[in-house]
Structure 1
Amino acid sequence: MTSYYVRACLPFDFVMRMKDEGIDPVKKLGEELKEKCSVEIRNNCYTFGLYIAEAESEDDCRAKFSAAWDKLYPQEKEKPLYLIVKNDGSEGAELMRSVFAGYYGADEYLQLTVELYNCIPLLAKAGALAALRSRSYVFAVDPGCGFTTLLSSFGDFLHRMHVYGENDENRKYYTEYKIGRETGGGYTTPADLISAISDAEEIAKTNILGIDLGYFLEGGKFDELRAFAQRLGKYGDDYVYVFRVPYLEKKALDDIVSVLSDVMLVATVRVPPLHDIVLFEHMWYELYTMGYDFSQSVSEPFFERVRREKQDGRFYGFKTVTKIVCGMILEKAAHDSALLAAGGEPDEKKLGPADLGAVEMKKERSGYEELEELIGMETVSKRIREIVAQVKLSMNSEKLDRPCLHMRFTGAPGTGKTTVARIIGKIFKEEGILRKGAFLEYSARSLCAEYVGQTAVRTASICRDAYGSVLFIDEAYALYEGNRYNNDYGREALTTLISEMENHRDDMLVIMAGYTDDMETLMEGNAGLRSRMPFVIHFPNYSRDQLFQIYMLMVRKHFSYTPDLEEAAREFFDSVPDAMLGSRDFANGRYVRNLYERTWSRASLRAALDGAAGVSLTGADLRSAAADPEFSEMPEKTVRVGFGKN
């Protein structure tokens, strides 16, 4: 029998389900294998397990793992990836063990190291290592997804595998460049980079160069990229080039590789956008290395925090998770110090939901209860109940096809569309229509990326995060401008989104929101979109009385107030003219919230000047706030709004 290191890379969606069910698949697989061979678990992580197993051959080892998996999970269509090398006690085997013990979410990189580990001894024996050094690599990986870490790892791997000769100890460092129009601010021009790598003294200790090619993707500068690659080729025996591009759809990536392949040998490594379970694993790893543990109740607040971080389109993967982790630890330190001061005894090494800023509610309200509390939503509430009844009837009937869940919300800003969309996710989960019921909100432009081929990937990644949940896209019509797309990839995003809506029609609810006429233009300009969004809910502007009720609800929730405040509020909202209520630019609920916040801001200032211990809102506070032009004048009009108007 031969001993092998085996890394089992588990399917991410499967791992997420197992985590939610409290099942440890790495441990279960190890226990099942013990019936077939001698096996030891060296690393037990969420997304992978590292085992030492004995078998007659590599194929026999793989067969044993596959059989054990199929016995445990016969219903799973997606199988683990098994990476296997001999555990022969050599320096190379120890190197592969260390590689197998890390790098989650980068399976293709791990496959590359196994391929090279097996090939390098043969090339060295044949005296042909120069052929390997001549090969360059394209790593398709988004910012924050580990490119620098992989580059460093790859450089160390090539060094320890003696690709530059056993005695060449200097060749163990990497250097990273980002191409730009001008040198400076972290960028280097193509000409300056060529000058740098031709200077043997400047980077003589480098064996691998990481080069970000984003500059060449702007506007498709492929001729310039080809010329740049030709100049790099002169130094191909001195350095291994690793080019970074974003994670692109296959055709766009193939186009880039084709240009580079005209002048050099190229291999591709793809690192997909980071799955939620990979981000969760990174959180666990960061906490573990700092000596902390966490309760399982941290999971949902963590994923909610990640969803918020992603909403503006500026999510930086592992770096963002590290930022979250550091914030958790500092928050815990603050909680613990307060507890110690009060005579308590904190669990110094275990983090909970409060350390992520999660607030545990005393009583969890149902989605329907939250919906009924909204002012002016009687018609909307009735429509939602009708939709739920229709969907549930189809789910319980073999004769009826389940309708698409996707919806259109039409109406002006501030009419409650976002709030209702969030509540629908909760209701659909309670009714068993959606698995998770989480709420993900994006502006339409957040679906678009910088380069050709990147938008489809970004949109698909956003949709993947929304499986089992609600994906709310505000101002969706911004993806479409008549028959023009401004070359900004709006059409690419829409095409991908429509495909995802169809393929996951039973497991994702997409809600597009915007002005009524703009949403109609979007439907008319995109064949098939209307039929995939059968449910339409209109949100009318609020009436004067509803605006007044919303204002007073906000006040009662947080402040005491004098009787004249209610009188002043009624007078103010009664003065709002019809033209404003019907205006496309009227902000409805946001207008009310802004007025409410301005009111208690004035009250706070007054209380501070008077030396008062508390704050009670008065009619004078409201009148002072309402005098600001933001509230007293209609947009682009001279009509006055407020007290004593003519």
Structure 2
Amino acid sequence: MCTADPNAEDRNDKDFQDVSSILAAGFTDTDEVMEALKKKISDAGATAEDGHSWFTLLHNTKVIARQINASEISAAILVQVLLADPPECVRPFMVSEKEAEKKKNAAMFVKDADELAEADEFVDFVHEVRAVAPILRETGTEHTLTSQALLFSVEQNESAVMTYLYLLHDLYNSEKLVSFRNPPDIIAISADMAMDGSVPSVTNFTLNNVSDMVLCIDISAWIGKMDTVEFEALLMKLYDRINDFVFVFRVPCLENTVLEKIAEQIQDIFSLRVIRFIPWSASYICDIADKYLESCGFPADADALEAFRIRMNEEKEDGRFYGYSTIQKICDEMIYLKQLQMADMHSGDEDRSEAVLSVPEHIGRQSGSKTENASNAEDKSGKTDDMPGNAAGKDTGKAAAGDRRISLSDVSGLINGTSFSAGDKADLNTLIGRSSVREQLQKIIKSISGGLNDKSAETAGQDKDHTFFESPFDIGEVNGPYNMFFIGEPGTGKSSAAGVLTAFLKEMNILYDGHFHEHHLEDFLGDCEGETTPRTLSILRDAYGSLLLIDELNGPMENMIQMEDDDVDEDIARMEQLTTENFTADAINTIISQLRIHRDDLVVVFSGREKDIRKLCADHPELEKLVPYSVVFEKYTQDELAQIFMNMLERNQISGSPDLEKTVFSYFRNLPEKIMQDDSFSNARFVSNLFEHAVSKADIRSAMDGTSGDVILASDFLLAAKDSSVDLNRKKKANRTIGFAIS
């Protein structure tokens, strides 16, 4: 099988219009499309121009998928079919097998199974195959192995899955167990359920048009429905091609009991080998990054790798981790930032590049950006601390020419302004405007350190309305637990307070790692039965020795309410609600189990509204024994919100027009009480988003009229205030600056 030459993309593609015109003829049946393509090539004749047209067609898979109007058919599979038997006119445009092999190798983060970590079952399988292969070849019974299907239970990590598949392909090929196409071909598809009970069209299309390769089929959509005749029909359809493919079934990382049920269903048709892959740990991810940076000629020191780990935590907090692709993305940013230093680009432009080229106040905080964490917006001190983890302390010098080692000062733009690392200085004064919160945390910190041993320590930080959080321990005499409830509305500074608390617990040697992790409760929930527990354990494992803030406790059920509002079928909505409730219970029960085991090296802060915390404790009474502390976060007043906005102007060195302050205070004072008390109103987060929107309005206005964008007019503010209330209340991922921040 050949692949197209990527270096030929700059050729004139005018002939492509002629070839692709058949795709606009309204074909919806994939067989018709294939016949039309073949006829077009045949009628055109074997000329170089037609070869060019064919080549260009292959490089426009998105056009193919769009024009044939068959979204269930993968454009990648269609191209595989087109390339399976290319006409002679295409040959000059094809790359060699050797070059295709290089492309495959570039997609793999390891080249040998023995280099894998946290994939013990797969490595054991590789060793088993290597041991038995000579005997299979001698007896001519290779099919007894190659006819076995594999069931991969693996997290949603596409680059890792493709690596495992390529390693499997290379294993069977090197041991001469099968005859694959060359260059090696692997297809991964999703066998979504066909509503009419037929075999899914994408699966049918693949089986009818390709062969002699590894075929990976994601059957996650069938979990819980594998005892149906439809799934049996799918398996029978696949088994008919057992001599043409090495089949790999794929499901998420699941509990063993669920995985065993799935295996039982598949084993009714196939011989099956189950292989489980453990989700990658933080240390393993850092090892991969370290090796990648070394291989690129840009080794990183310990502090730079610490910055990488913090950035990786931020990526995982979104619930979006793409394995090696994410690792490579972050490492490439580190290499680029390092080369900015090496280029000495900040000469004569120091103000513009200060955010990236100077050492940050603290690892994990980026200075110089236009928007800062809202709950710290009132801080006007401008004080800085020595950078932790850097032997030079305040070394802000330029990178020496030719020195490729990446240090912390090289990558200060890598991590956003809300991350906290093990080196942050514990200082309650950073919680400006939160005097009540500071007092509560101060009492709790003294209690933990043993300063308070009397009964009053048990209710430190609580008022009369929160007595149900009373601790069963004499806290001053017990080593853990140190878990807490943070009770308050969105945008009242809970995340910032958790970050400061992390630094205190690190200084007190309670947290040996001292990282701050933040996840929504929804992040712990799986998409299918059996996935929640492994996903929860993976998040908790990353947080050992650190503090984990679990926010938006009501998130999953709010989605259910939205479903009801969207007029979804009542039975479906009820089923979804029950599923969500079960998954939520699984997640909380798993967290509780881990809190018992890791009472001395894991601190979890449950953050939410009072009604959500009360419901959580009512549903899981054992939490009251494991969470001895609580902190109450009051809402900001209208004038406090207005002052936060004005302080953000000063903090970010942006001027306001003479009438801006009056306009801001008037706006907030006239906010209806109904809005202020609404559950969707996000307090200081609303102000932070409003500030960001006002800056955006000022930027675009100044670009149009040539005035200064560093001055926000009252009209900019009022225009921003008319933006969507959903956007203004949304908790957004912090922006990161790659290159020079413009302040």
Give the TM-score, by structure 2 length: 0.62
2:446 matched to 1:389? yes
Per the alignment, residue 401 of structure 2 pairs with: 346
Q: 1:355 to 1:597 in 2, by over 3 A?
A: closer
Structure (1 or 2) with the greater strand fraction: 1
Unaligned runs of 5+ in 2: 1-109, 349-397, 454-473, 561-573, 730-743
SS at match of 1:293: coil
Count the aligned residue pairs. Answer: 522
Structure 1 letter corresponding to 2:177: V
2:450 is paired with a residue whose SS is: helix
| 1:506 aligned residue (568, 581, 600) | 600
Amino acid at match of 1:492: D
Report the Cα offset of residue 576 of structure 1. Answer: 5.0
Cα pair distance change 1:119/1:628, threshold 3 Å: closer
1:149 matched residue in structure 2: 163
Question: Structure 1 regions of 5+ residues with no counterpart?
Answer: 1-96, 636-646
1:486 match: 578
Of stretches 526-535 and 555-564 in structure 1, the one that deviates more from structure 2 is 555-564
**1:303, CA displacement in angstroms?**
0.9
Could you say which residue in structure 1 is the equivalent of 2:255?
A: 249
CA deviations 1:522-560 (Å, max 9, x no partner) are: 221223233322222111111244334423321221234
Which amino acid in 2 is paired with 1:325?
A: C
1:114 to 127, 144, 149: 127
**Equivalent-residue separation in structure 1 for 2:676 and 2:245 (angstroms):** 67
Whether 1:473 aligns to 2:542 is no
- 1:537 aligns to what SS in structure 2? strand
Distance 1:490 1:251 in 2: 19
Q: Is 1:452 aligned to residue 529 of structure 2?
A: yes
1:587 partnered with 2:682 = yes
Equivalent of 2:486, from 374, 395, 409?
Answer: 409
Asked whether 1:543 is paired with 2:637, we answer yes
8 Å contact from structure 2 (residues 146, 246) kept in 1 = yes
- Could you say if the C-alpha distance between residues 598 and 306 of structure 1 is closer, same or farther in structure 2, counting changes exceeding 3 Å? closer
Which structure has more relative contact order (CA 8 Å, sep 6+)? It is: 2
The alpha-carbon deviation at position 564 of structure 1 amounts to 5.8
The CA distance in 2 between the partners of 1:158 and 1:425, in whole Å, is: 50
Matched with 2:215 is: 209
Does the CA contact (< 8 Å) of 1:339 and 1:345 recur in 2?
Answer: no
Q: CA deviation at 1:606?
A: 6.6
What is the one-letter code of the residue matched to 1:591? F
Conservation of the 8 A alpha-carbon contact between 1:181 and 1:189:
no
Change (3 A) 1:386 1:115: same
Aligned to 1:48: none
CA distance in structure 2 between the aligned counterparts of 1:422 and 1:509, rounded to whole angstroms: 12
Does structure 2 conserve the Cα–Cα contact (< 8 Å) formed by 1:547 and 1:573?
yes
Matches within 5 A, 1:77-96: none
Give 1:566 shift.
4.8
Alignment CA distance shift 1:149-1:628 (3 Å): closer
Q: Distance in 2 between matches of 1:162 and 1:196?
A: 25
Residue of structure 2 aligned with 1:276, choices 260, 282, 293: 282
Deviation at 1:154, TM superposition (A): 1.3
Paired residue secondary structure (1:427): helix
Please state whether the residue corresponding to 1:137 is helix, strand or coil.
strand
Q: For 1:176, what is the secondary structure of its paired residue? A: strand
Would the aligned equivalents of 1:156 and 1:172 in 2 still touch at CA under 8 Å? Answer: no
Amino acid at match of 1:179: S
Q: TM-score of the superposition, structure 1-length normalised? A: 0.71
Cα pair distance change 1:112/1:356, threshold 3 Å: farther
1:408, 1:574 → 2: CA distance?
31
**Distance in 1 between the 2:150 and 2:183 partners?**
18
Structure 2 CA distance for aligned equivalents of residues 340 and 269 of structure 1: 52
Instruction: Quote the offset at 1:269 in angstroms.
Output: 1.4
Counterparts in 2 of 1:545 and 1:373: CA distance versus 1, 3 Å = farther
Deviation at 1:219, TM superposition (A): 4.9
After superposition, the Cα gap between the structure-2 partners of 1:341 and 1:128, relative to the gap in structure 1 and judged at 3 Å, is same
| SS, match of residue 512 in structure 1 | strand
Aligned to 2:504: 427
Within 5 Å, give how 1:231-380 maps onto structure 2: 231-339=237-345, 346-347=401-402, 349-353=404-408, 354-355=410-411, 357-358=413-414, 367-369=425-427, 371-380=428-437
C-alpha deviation, 1:349, in angstroms: 3.2
CA RMSD after TM alignment: 3.8
CA contact (8 A) 1:439 1:471 kept: yes
Structure 1 distance, partners of 2:142, 2:705, is: 82
What aligned pairs does 1:6-21 form with structure 2 within 5 A after superposition?
none
Q: Which residue of 1 aligns with 2:174?
A: 160
Distance in 1 (alpha carbons) for counterparts of 2:688 and 2:292: 40
Aligned residues of 2:311 and 2:415 also touching (Cα < 8 A)? no
CA offset digits 1:461-515 (Å, max 9, x no partner): 1111111112112111335689994313222222222222222222112112222
1:334 CA drift (Å): 3.7
2:189 corresponding residue in structure 1: 178
